Amino acid sequence: MTPPIQIAFVETDTDPLATAEGTIAVFADPGVRLDRAGQRLNRLTRGALARLVESPRFADLTEGEAATLSWPVGLAAETVRVVRLGRRADVATARRAGATLGKALDAGGMTVLAGNHPRAADIAYGVALRAYRFADHKTDPEKPFGPVRFMVSKPDRVAAEAAPSAALTEAVFFARDLVNEPANVLTTDDFAARLAAMQELGLSVEILEEDALAKLGMRALLGVGQGSASPSKVVVMQWRGGGDAAPLALVGKGVVFDTGGISIKPAQGMEEMTMDMGGAGVVAGVMRGLALRRAKANVVGLVGLVENMPDGLAQRPGDIVRTMKGDTVEVINTDAEGRLVLADVMWYAQDRFKPTALIDLATLTGAIIIGLGHENAGVFSNNDALAQAFLKAAETEAEGAWRMPLAAAYDKALKSEKADMKNVGGRAAGAITAAQFLQRFVDGDRPWMHLDIAGVAALPKDSDFAPQGATGWGVRALDRMIRDGFEG
């Protein structure tokens, strides 16, 4: 996997600043005196730093943004990045400031003058999250990122504060790598193997093959993958750090490539359907993060791995399949396959593990992108407390999420004359009717939340914390929710 950058926390020492190469980063706030390291840097640049900080251009920056001094006189460094950030900045702003630096990181490395800033660990987290580059398939990749040193007043304390974030960065990168991989590499077999390898971290990993899925009655999931040469699978990952408590269950849609099946998608943009396993990628990332930081919680992560292809054995529009639960579904559109995968895996998760709560994640509908764009995931839930806990965690981690409605009135769109339900309800309220479909596979009043991440799993342009492509959205928010609400 793509390794996160290693950040060294060292005691502030202004003597090497003149000879430090690459980039030097410093934090400043208009009208506030520079700290000791900043004053030393200002003297070395013959007052250029102070002139920049006092300029209208710097005052116009949003907190967390940066201005650049290129080839500054008096320094060996190629650039000085001057970030507008006050000492009272909140966590989200400090991380965005770090991400500003992470985006600028190159092979020359960076020396960050964080001094005694109270948010130094959060700044470092932002640097690490943004310093990501997926280059596994480039013959001549760019030079790797250079070393990053944070000069701080109390390096041991800041390093300890930053340690949990380092584990989460690795988890986010794992999810991003999975989503960014092409489908000829990330087959269902390869995906399962990568998850099985996490046993070395302490996770229990079990792979259910097609014969086992057939015995369990997962005909909805198997129907989706029956046109593909890649075998369908369900992978079960367990982290037991919370004693005998019932686990939280996370379920992810893992369609490694989605042609739409017989209801084939248009050619334009189909190459992006390598990301249709984004929900499974997030679940895998969360489980990796829990293991890396030795979380004191019981969590089970289940992912349904399939490929939706249109060959002679493929599922047809008009087919009727029976789910593991026992309900029958008329398949109106084979491109609404994710909900069929989730239905069986959700029921299996509840039947086997009796979880305290159930959360599913999926790149499920284009409709959620129409409604919320690429800024927010859609949040659907039958339980206000669960939804609010997640929304609070998502806000804390600066991962956009917006609650959407559920109501019995939408169920009539799923009525079938031939089966218990249809798998689509038409264009109107498409994301909501998809969630209503999934709710039918929630056992009783078990707390449940559905996250439609179609708009946030992979982006067409850079975001604050990730370059264009996979974001790893949800790994941080779910980990925060587990920390705050499910750890003993």
Count CB atoms within 10 A of the CB of residue 351. Answer: 12
Just list the catalytic residues. Answer: 265, 339
Question: Edge-to-edge strand order for the sheet containing 233-240?
Answer: 204-208, 233-240, 298-308, 248-258, 357-362, 448-452, 377-381, 401-403
Determine the Cα–Cα distance for residues 84 and 347; give it in Å rounded to an integer.
Answer: 50
Q: 349 by DSSP, 3-state: which? A: helix
| Token pair of 341 as six digits | 């995968």
Per the CB < 8 A criterion, the answer to whether 225 and 233 are in contact is no
Determine the Cα–Cα distance for residues 363 and 193; give it in Å rounded to an integer.
Answer: 22
Determine the Cα–Cα distance for residues 467 and 396; give it in Å rounded to an integer.
Answer: 21
- CA nearest neighbour of 20 among 191, 125, 148: 148
Determine the Cα–Cα distance for residues 95 and 465; give it in Å rounded to an integer.
Answer: 9
Q: 443 by DSSP, 3-state: which? A: coil
DSSP per-residue letters across 140-178 = SPPPPP--EEEEES-HHHHHHHHHHHHHHHHHHHHHHHH
What's the length of the chain? 488
